Amino acid sequence: MLVSITEIFCEIDDFCKQYFKEQQHKILPNPKRKRNRKARMHLSEIMTITILFHLSHYRTFKDFYHECVIRYWRSYFPTLVSYNRFVELQASVITVLAIYLLAKRGQETNLYYVDSSPIKVCHNRRIYKHKVFAGIAKRGKHSMGWFFGFKLHLVINHKGELMSFCFTKGNVDDRKVLYKLLKNLKGLMVGDKGYLSKEKSDYYAAKGLKLITRVRKNMKEKALTLFEKFFLSKRGIIETVIEQLKSICQIEHTRHRSPLNFICNLLSALAAYVLRPRKPSFKFNKLTTNKCVLMPS
């Protein structure tokens, strides 16, 4: 475990207490709920367990809950419920998880990367038999071919910290969600060729954000400063972040049985990444050997 269980729980519990203190008078009552009885486990405990799963080495949440949480961590969570009941409770923390991620937004460094990645929900041969996301997930195409599912859109700074995110259906153009991802950001933004758009570049340049990408073979090379060329060459950082989210935090698998639990899995994986002490990044001390490279103003 990269981070102490106690540290994670205390941080999340403090956040939940502050959140409910500020939002209690704003939450509308649920007319369909007959009783206002609280669940046996507190939301902070549920959030902690869902995040810890993505920081563990278990491949399935069921094995993690039975073999790790119930067997070894019962002293940390004395009010544990059964696995089936916990799966039902996961959907109740989606809103708090999303707000927690917004509260853990990274530092504004004026140096950012943007990228998207497909989230497959089933194999292409099983699309017509798939029922969990029927009518929700869509077919999309990326550099590795066609897929069925969703897209995760991310913006990070050069320190690897999460700045903003959203997920869409698989057939949504990456450029359509830029206005949500890049809101209030200024400085330098690097993306791949999927973000090529003179209209978008001029629009964000007027707002103080310069969007640069590599060009296609039939296009003229853009005039870039030495620093912009260096920063563009480090675009692999965000691809490393996405690879860690898929291989370590497991945001992509085909075992989902509920759209709500899919969202919970995705948000808790992002929260687990935010809590990781070491993130993919680069340091500017490597530039000291090249006196011609200057930071953008």
Specify the pLDDT at position 201.
Answer: 86
Residues in CB range of 77: below 8 A, 6 or more apart: 41, 45, 49, 69
- Which conformational region is residue 22 in: left (phi greater than 0), alpha (psi within -120 to 50 degrees), or beta? alpha
pTM: 0.88
Specify the pLDDT at position 196.
Answer: 85
Specify the pLDDT at position 4.
Answer: 82
pLDDT over 80 at 198, yes or no? yes
Note the pLDDT tens digit of each residue in 142-194.
878 899 999 999 999 999 999 999 999 999 998 899 988 998 899 999 998 88
pLDDT classification of 243: cutoffs 50, 70, 90:
very high
Joined tokens for residue 25: 């008078």
Task: Give the chain's largest Cα–Cα span.
Answer: 69
pLDDT classification of 33: cutoffs 50, 70, 90:
low
CB 5 within 8 Å of CB 73: yes
* Better-scored residue on pLDDT, 105 or 287: 105
pLDDT over 70 at 292, yes or no? no
Compute the distance between CA of residue 120 and CA of residue 63 in angstroms, rounded to an integer.
22
Q: What is the mean pLDDT of the segment spanning 54-58?
A: 89
